[in-house]
Structure 1
Amino acid sequence: MTFDQIRTFLWVARLGGFRRASERLNLSQPAVSTRIANLEQELRVTLFERGPGTLVLTKQGTLLLTYAEQMLFVEEEIKQHVANPSEAEGLFRIGASETVAQAWLPAFLQAFSGTYPRVNIDLTVDISGNLRSGLLNRQLDLAFLMGPISEFTVKNIALPRFDLHWYKSTNNSQTDLARIPVISYARQTRPYQELISELSHRIGPQVRVYSSASLSASLRMIAAGMAVGPYPRTLARDLLRTNEIEEFDPGFTPQPLEFTASYLGEPRSYLSETGAEMGREVALKWAVEQED
């Protein structure tokens, strides 16, 4: 019986299938199946009941899972407190919202790669709702998203917020929100829903609100005079620098965007824990630099 077999068993049990475990462990599906078969043969027990599209732990499998979780906890403690970070290996899957991606994410990736040079990074940039699903489905190890995620299995570390500012084209003097469309984040995001609620209350049902998952495209539409909208200043800096857009005050400002570094607490992952803390440190440093 090897530690790799125990680790493979844990992920098959956690994820409920050989294919998902193979993706998580960066192994082929036959390699995962072989490890489980060898483990069952050595222990002389059946660990999973296999059926059409289902995989259920047997009584012996449930008992082994308890021991496997304890072993993985000890392994993570050793990695975090004893092992040399530069020797860590494997695949680390990071998800980030576009707001973070255009702000301090490059600095984080540089810091993370410098600390863990042998760890391969798989990066996903998406809306926070999809990142949340990816984290809960164990398709991501760490997510920088609009949070927190209210699930007992998830650990959330608060990150610096992003204040919103209203922008319009420098070539368009129209700022009446009842007459010019407003553009916001994607329809299924919290900023969009909060903005719709506020504008409907202030202006009425005649207000026109566009939505876009591409923040850079949204700001380009503002620069073209097609709409106005509230966005973090860091996303608008290039267009502000070229004097294509400018800030204005329509009489109210939406709530700031709250972000968290979120990861699953079980099974414990020292890369997720240290990555989340590193993300907070990088984001705080970036926020201070923006104020200078």
Structure 2
Amino acid sequence: MQLDQIETFLDIVESRNFNRTADRLGLTQSTISARIKNLESAIGSELFQRGRAGAEPTAAGRRFEAYARSMLSTWSQARHDVRAFNRFEGTLRIAAQVGMTRSVLPGWVESLCQALPKSSIHVESDYSNQMVSDLSMGNLDIAVLYAPRYLPEIAYEHLMVEDYVMVSTTARTLSEVDSETYIRPGYTVLLEKTHAELLTDLAICRLSMGSETLAEMMLRRTGGTCYMRSDDARRFTIERPSFIVEGAPTLHQPVHTAILARRKHEPIIRKGIRALQVAVMSLDV
């Protein structure tokens, strides 16, 4: 199995056509066919069903796609990390929950740059399941996430608790909240569950969102009521005529760090965690 076979496979998954992939990669159709044939031989399964309409992945092909993308990602990271040793003393790949892009990440990156001045640092924001998968495959070094998925190779530590408060452009008290302009917080499974238990009258409403950033944007555009992280809520009420709703319960979301257990004693991992702790201590959460 060769990388050019993997790249060709993934291009056909997108193009759904051997000839189109040949044009895109600047190769002959026979070369494309040979690569896929050799790949299928190595895997022991047919990956595409060819017909007049083009090429559709078989069940095995769809199953193999995730592994193919993972292999290319691992190869890309390996090249980057090895090349980085020519210029840097080490590399660190970190990620935090998408909702923490404005809160935890900026301070963490700033603290990392001070703690690891001779290291290469790659930063991402993502969701819990993907970060856990990336950690397991070695594509990530430290993750900050909401929802641990317990695997034997991953070590989790409690980091902090984020508080979410209800903000409204129209209602000062909970009794004044209009369900027609209310955005139910679907940001995490735990927040959804807690919300349903504490606010039964608002548990079923017309609009719910899985992104707190999008919920805030909608509040700016159309007004209404939604939940925000406490520091975002305070900033919002300063910037816009709005209120932190009296009588609305505060929702609590635990935050965890995740690393590969076998790497927890590595100096660069320990410095990365310490830099994160420094960043968190500077937050008002």
Q: Taking structure 2 as the reference length, what is the TM-score of the superposition? A: 0.61
**Equivalent residue, structure 2, for 1:207:** 205
Any idea what SS the aligned residue of 2:262 has?
A: coil
From 275, 281, 284, the equivalent of 1:278 is 275
Counterpart residue identity of residue 206, structure 2: R
How far apart, in 2, do the equivalents of 1:247 and 1:167 lie?
5
Q: Which residue of 1 aligns with 2:185?
A: 184
User: Is the Cα–Cα contact under 8 Å of residues 183 and 227 in structure 1 kept in the other structure?
Assistant: no
Residue deviations 1:209-249 (CA, integer Å, cap 9, x gap): 41143x33311212344442222122234322123332103
Q: Summarize the Cα distance change of 1:100–1:179 in structure 2 as closer, same or farther, 3 Å threshold.
A: closer
Percent identity over the alignment? 15
Q: 2: distance between equivalents of 1:259 and 1:152?
A: 19
SS at match of 1:249: coil
- Which residue number in structure 2 is paired with residue 216 of structure 1? 213
User: For 1:18 and 1:251, how far apart are their aligned partners in 2?
Assistant: 48
Equivalent in the alignment of 1:63: none
**What is the CA distance between 1:18 and its match in structure 2?**
6.9
Alpha carbons 2:92, 2:122 under 8 Å: kept = yes
Match of 1:263 among 253, 259, 262: 259
* Structure 2 residue aligned with 1:144: 144
Question: Does structure 2 conserve the Cα–Cα contact (< 8 Å) formed by 1:149 and 1:156?
Answer: no
- Work out whether residues 196 and 209 of structure 1, in 8 Å CA contact, stay in contact via their aligned partners in 2: no
Aligned AA (2:130): N
Partner of 2:108: 108
SS in 2 for 1:252: coil
Output one character per residue of 1:135-188: Cα deviation in whole Å (capped at 9) or x when no partner.
Answer: 2332211111114442221122221211111011158998435443324244xx
Compared CA separation, residues 242 and 137, structure 1 to 2 (3 A)? same
Residue in 2 aligned with 1:193? 192
Secondary structure in structure 2 of the residue aligned to 1:110: helix
Number of residues of Structure 1 aligned to a counterpart in Structure 2: 213
Q: Is the contact made by 1:156 and 1:263 (CA closer than 8 Å) also made in structure 2?
A: yes
Match of 2:239 in 1: 242
Name the CA distance, whole Å, in 1 between partners of 2:202 and 2:147: 29
Structure 2 CA distance for aligned equivalents of residues 247 and 260 of structure 1:
27
Q: Secondary structure at the match of 1:230?
A: strand
Retained in 2: the 8 A contact 1:163–1:257? yes
Which residue in the other structure is 1:74 paired with?
none
CA–CA separation in structure 1 for the residues paired with 2:137 and 2:99:
23
**Deviation sequence 1:4-29 (CA, Å, 0-9, x none):** xxxxxxxxxxx999755533433599
Q: Give the C-alpha shift of residue 90 in structure 1.
A: 3.5
Q: 2-side partners of 1:262 and 1:225: how far apart?
A: 38
* Secondary structure of the corresponding residue to residue 257 of structure 2: strand
Where does structure 2 lack aligned partners over 5 or more consecutive residues? Answer: 1-66
SS in 2 for 1:113: helix
Q: Distance in 2 between matches of 1:266 and 1:113?
A: 24
Give the letter for the 2:183 counterpart.
V
The question of whether the paired residues in 2 share the 8 Å contact of 1:26 and 1:91 is answered with no
What are the superposed Cα offsets for residues 75-117 of structure 1, whole Å, 9 maximum, x if unpaired? xxxxxxxxxxxx9623321111233321232222112112212
Query: Are the counterparts in 2 of residues 146 and 259 from structure 1 also a CA contact under 8 Å?
Result: yes
Query: Aligned to 1:26, which of 72, 79, 96?
Result: 79
Gap runs ≥5 in structure 1:
1-14, 32-86
CA separation of 1:26 and 1:101: change in aligned 2, threshold 3 A: same
| Aligned mates of 1:104, 1:26 — CA distance in 2 | 29
> Alpha-carbon deviations, 1:12-56, whole Å to 9, x = none?
xxx999755533433599x9xxxxxxxxxxxxxxxxxxxxxxxxx
